[in-house]
Every structure is written in C-alpha cells, then in structure tokens.
Amino acid sequence: MLRTAKSAAFLFLAICLVSCNRSSPKPGPSPARRSTIVFMTDFGAANDSVAICKAVIAGIAPDARIMDITHQVTPFSIEEAARFLYGVTPYYPPGTIFLVVVDPGVGTSRKAVIVKSKKDQFFVLPDNGLVTPVLDRDGFDSAREITNPAWMLHASVSSTFHGRDVFSPAAAHLAEGWDFAIAGPPVSQLVRLEIKTALLNDTGVSGSVIALDDPFGSLITNIPADDLHKLGYSVGDKIVLQLNKKPVILPYLRTFMDVPVGEPLLYIDSRGRVAIAVNQGNYSQKYKITPPASIFIPPKSAPINSR
C-alpha cells in the first residue's frame, strides 16, 4: 500500500514538471536557429562605439551572426546611409535584421523604431527616413516604436548613445526570437526621406553627383541608365555634357580599361547609374569635382553649340 502511494506521488510530480515546462516557453529561438544582424553606423573606426554595440548584442544574443555594411558613413548623412542600405538589402534573405545608427537627432523627440518590410526583413533604426528607399521598393508591412524598457540595455538611457542603449539591445532581442510587437506601440506613419531624383525632359536630363565611389574618386550620379539611353546614346558614343555648368566631353564606354590609363570615361555602374571615372586614377581629385555637383546631359540629337 505504501509503495503504491509513493508511486502515485512520483507520477503526479512528473506530470507537474512536464506541465510547468510546457506552460513557460522561452522567448528565444530554437538551438538550430542563427539570426543575422547587419550593422551600419557613422561612428567610424577611431573610437570604441562599434565594439561596445557589438558587445551589447553578444551579451543578449550570443549566437547571432553580426555582419557590417560600413561604419564610415559620412557623419550625419542620412541620405548616404539610406543609399547604402538600399543597395545591400536585396542580397540578404527574409528574416535578416538591419541595425542602422545614423542619428543626428539622437536624444530628441524622434522615435526609435523597428520596421518590418513586406520582404520580411527587420530594420532597427531612428525614424528619420533612413528606410524610405527600401520600403518604396519592398513595401511596408508594419512598425513599432521601441519603448519597452525590457528591450533596452538598462532603465537609464543615455541622451547621446542610443546605439548602445536602445538600438543594439532591440536588434539582439529580435535575434533571440522575441516578438517585435512587444517592443512598443505600433507606428503607422514613418518619417519620409525626400530623395532627389534626376529630371528628364525634351532638353535632356538634369541630375546630381550624389557621392564618390571611394577610394577611387569616381563620380556617382542619380541619373539612371534608362534616362541616358532615352536620350539616344549607346556605348561607343562621345557625350558632350555639363558638370557644374562647364562643358565636358567623355566617351561612353563599358568599363575602365576601354580607355588608356589616366583617361576619363562615362559608364554605367553596377547599380545601373551614370558614373564618371578615370582609368586607374581619381576623377574627383584630378578634375576638382566633389558632391554635391550638378550634371546635365542633352539629347544625342542636340546641336553641339546648344549643349
């Protein structure tokens, strides 16, 4: 009789333990899962800021893989960071977490947000327009403001280092499998970044030199290849264009070695934009052109003297 009672008690205890384990699931991922966090900032490499952010992530999500876009974004340049983010995201799969801290408004009323695109990628960043080009291409699914203290490093948040105290821990919690709906309230309307685009009309295409392809000093423009071709140009043509309203004659060629070393050319870069370079040289330094600069290309049929 005593042995039967002991057996029953043991069975009851085992059932209770199984039930307790089933009713308290961990918020993190399964052991087989390894999330990827893709990190970009304007912090540079001359201080410890990037290392601190990565240490915060490792403390919360030790199995997460951290990859870098760059930490050399021109300081405070939301437009440049948005361009880099737009260029990189297509090469990462759904579920990737992009952590971007280019935040000239840190400590102000701007929101810290987690944004989900229709491609099922997540973006942990300030609500300052950084993600606008990506969402215009991939579609907006939903967003949350990061207000839950449990998603932050500690209760006392620095007014100048949200990369450490807010954005990095939020990205790490996502990597651990936490539902981003508990990060804070929904955000239905995000700040939009006004992207300056080239203007194509009957007189030609007016655009801008928006960046340099460092360290090579090639000029990156916002003129898409289609606009150039709509003006009648094809590879092999010589183009009389204007840079900062000064006439420049350039051959339109496929790649750098199509001209002698030290000579300039116009080409279509790997992102499908009109670009200008010097073969094995630095166009920006050689011709004293830096962004922002204007560029105008007339139609191929336009008389030379009207260009």
Write down the domain spans for the chain.
36-183, 199-306
Strand duo 264-268 + 246-251: pairing: unpaired
Mean pLDDT of all residues in 2-20: 43
Rounded percentage of the chain residues whose pLDDT exceeds 90: 84
Tell me the per-residue pLDDT of 83-102, one tens digit each, with 9 for 90 and over: 999 999 999 999 999 999 99
Tell me the per-residue pLDDT of 106-136, one tens digit each, with 9 for 90 and over: 999 999 999 999 999 999 999 999 999 999 9
Instruction: Give residue 307's pLDDT band: very low, low, confident or very high (50, 70, 90).
Output: low
CATH of domain 199-306: 2.40.30.90
Q: What per-residue confidence (pLDDT) applies to 28? A: 45
What is the CATH topology of the domain spanning 36-183? Answer: Rossmann fold (3.40.50)
Tell me the per-residue pLDDT of 123-175, one tens digit each, with 9 for 90 and over: 999 999 999 999 999 999 999 999 999 999 987 899 999 999 999 999 999 99
Q: Does the pLDDT at position 241 exceed 60?
A: yes
Q: Does the pLDDT at position 260 exceed 80?
A: yes
Mean pLDDT of all residues in 25-44: 71
